[in-house]
Structure 1
């Protein structure tokens, strides 16, 4: 099924675009002293994960309290919500300056803000929002965010294709996806910033990749994905609005966050390295879109390539799929960590020798 692309247009759209040599416009990504990634929404919440360490902090059963008349005292402790979506709070520290941005917002209007409240995260401290792409399971929580704080002039960074009307073309049961409304977001007060090219945020310490060069032979996109071009449904396998967030932790390497990784995890890491000139992958966190029969054939080359990068931490989440999770855990046992809503990953610079 993965090899059945159908038309010549689909085949052409799935052809990798070569990107030889160094980047034409290299990015001067400022190194940071620390980045903390807090997963606000993921497909899984496991309160029994007990691998807390200096680098990893887990949320447990007692993340919050809810009214419940069947218990003495009228309340019970609750954990966090999990759903088919992704959202992460990214906290970056350079010297004495700490800044925060939101990378994706989950599927439902309230899951991200409910989890944030239970984790003690104040939405008013977020200084920008970045959408990895326009799919509804990454943009649904924008409504909840707007309901919890004034978003007037809050930067919202996305690719212009994020507004596209899209569907999944499964013969006999085509499924149109919810489409983000630019008018609605502008009406809420978001400062919408559309960029196809790379962007630097937070004083040059956070890179948003923009469109990712497709350089592998096996990461061919989403073959059943289509977009409305104004007159008809056309193949849209590459989902060009897919972009990643990149931070350079001083002395450690790149930390790369993906929403779904539609551009391909290997393409994304290569692109980040090429843009920044930094050849070391310190951590990869987020969805890798390797779940299901369409993508299982590319798990082996993906795992092989990621193993060659030798990251110190890899947290595949959201749409990665259990087959890929097991393969990555086996190939990278010292780096792989099970993702879960509410988990905090602290990645710090190497100590300066005395």
Structure 2
């Protein structure tokens, strides 16, 4: 998909610069010629899914691994799936390709193993973006550091990514969630860049939303058991304020919005991206939409209705979207909905 590629020793290609104005003010997002999203980690791997002109599926067998129970001692390996999300984003504009890593999955090894099985070295990554601080999106940072080294590799995060959080379900012992360590990331060599406001990367052609405006009435965030530590007490943390998305404008097509969990709400995120960029057309929405489980089932119907009104060309709900929401989205948007699966590549080009 590329003519020339920015070298991995050019980290400034993906450094953020402050976007003008507050979140409600317009930002000039430069259109791109091509964007490729490779799902490195998702909750599901289905080796029988078929592709099309914009979707490339990996085969069921991605090389051979040791398996002594078989004659010959080997068996084909598929892609790893886990409760986490990670995507590699390649953006081409004016003959130059820049590669960003958006989230890193749950475990230290799934992302790097899957990348290896896809023939991706991860050596050409220009920057890392974390959608938020939950451990199922940041666990693979250890594997990334161990596989390629990350000296001076920019990593864009919201300042709230370091928040201590726990789940305090009534009737059960409270369970504190793993919390990202700024000290550990600095020691590994990541160049951590904290931005609460929107940032423009890759010569102004990739937008990181920063904190998302919450404007819908139905997207109210996490239920009461999700709590954050204030320094003095545990309090309900519905907003997950560090939730942010990655946005690209494909020339002549519209916005491509990539979410991690979508804690801010899928519709809030899309509308926020539209307001920031002044681009009304939604071309594609991919990533976790956090509509799974009883607490979020009431949000499914209004989300589907609003998203249907936006008429996207491609919808790839993954990770924490939940099976009920998947069914509803597939029924409402049969021409746009595509099943997500670890190892799948989505190739979107300008009109």
TM over 0.5: yes
Q: 1:61 to 1:24 in 2, by over 3 A?
A: closer
Q: Check if 1:118 corresponds to 2:117.
A: yes
1-structure distance, mates of 2:54, 2:127: 25
Q: Deviations over 1:107-150 (max 9, x none)?
A: 00000000000001111111100000000000000000000112
Look up the match of 1:332. 333
CA distance in 2 between counterparts of 1:168 and 1:71 reads 43
How far did residue 236 of structure 1 move? 1.1
Shift, 1:76, TM fit? 1.4
Alignment of 1:166 with 2:168, yes or no, is: no
State the 1:67 CA deviation: 1.3
Further displaced range: 169-178 or 30-39? 169-178
TM-score (norm 2): 0.92
Q: Deviations over 1:191-246 (max 9, x none)?
A: 00000000111111110000000000000010231110111101211010000000
Match of 2:297 in 1: 296
2:277 matched to which residue of 1?
276
Identify the residue that residue 207 of structure 1 maps to in structure 2.
Answer: 207
Q: State the alpha-carbon separation in 1 of the partners of residues 92 and 64 from structure 2.
A: 31
Shift of 1:24: 4.9
Name the SS for the 1:234 alignment partner.
strand
Once the two structures are overlaid, the 10-residue window that deviates more, 161-170 or 332-341, is 161-170
Total equivalences in the alignment: 328
Q: Does the Cα contact within 8 Å between 2:24 and 2:275 map onto a contact in 1?
A: no
For residues 225-264 of structure 1, what are the structure 2 equivalents within 5 Å?
Answer: 225-264=226-265
Structure 1 CA distance for aligned equivalents of residues 297 and 252 of structure 2: 35
**Is 1:349–2:350 an aligned residue pair?**
yes
Is 2:37 the partner of 1:37? yes
Over the aligned positions, Cα root-mean-square deviation in angstroms equals: 1.1
Deviation for aligned residue 1:172:
2.2
Q: Is the CA contact 2:25–2:275 (under 8 Å) kept in the aligned structure 1?
A: no
Which residue is equivalent to 2:27?
27
On the 8 A contact 2:80/2:110 being kept in 1, the answer is yes
1:71, distance to aligned residue in structure 2 (A): 2.7
TM-score, normalised by the number of residues in structure 1: 0.91
1:65 is displaced (CA, Å) by 1.8
Residue 125 of structure 1 aligns to a residue in which SS?
coil
Partner of 1:219, secondary structure, is: coil
Give distance in 2, aligned partners of 1:226 and 1:56: 38
In structure 1, the partner of 2:186 is: 186
Match of 2:142 in 1: 143
Cα separation, 1, equivalents of 2:265 and 2:117: 33
Secondary structure, counterpart of 1:341 in structure 2: coil
Deviates more, 1:225-234 or 1:167-176: 167-176
Between 1:274-283 and 1:167-176, the stretch displaced more is: 167-176
- Deviation of 1:75 after TM superposition, in Å, equals 1.7
Distance (Å, rounded) in 2 between the aligned partners of 1:24 and 1:169: 34
1:74 CA drift (Å)? 2.6
For the residues of structure 2 that align with 1:256 and 1:94, how far apart are their CA atoms? Answer: 17
Alpha-carbon separation, structure 2, partners of 1:23 and 1:48: 42
Cα distance between partner residues in 1 of 2:94 and 2:42: 30
What secondary structure sits across from 1:152 in the alignment?
coil
Deviations 1:271-304 (A, max 9, x none): 0000000000000000000000000011100000
Q: Does 1:311 align with 2:299?
A: no
Task: Using the TM superposition, name which of 147-156 and 66-75 deviates more.
Answer: 66-75
Provide closer, same or farther for how the CA distance between residues 343 and 24 of structure 1 changes in structure 2, counting only shifts above 3 A: closer
Aligned partners of 1:275 and 1:88: how far apart in 2?
A: 23
Task: Give the corresponding residue for 2:11.
Answer: none
Q: How far has the Cα of 1:72 moved from its partner?
A: 3.4
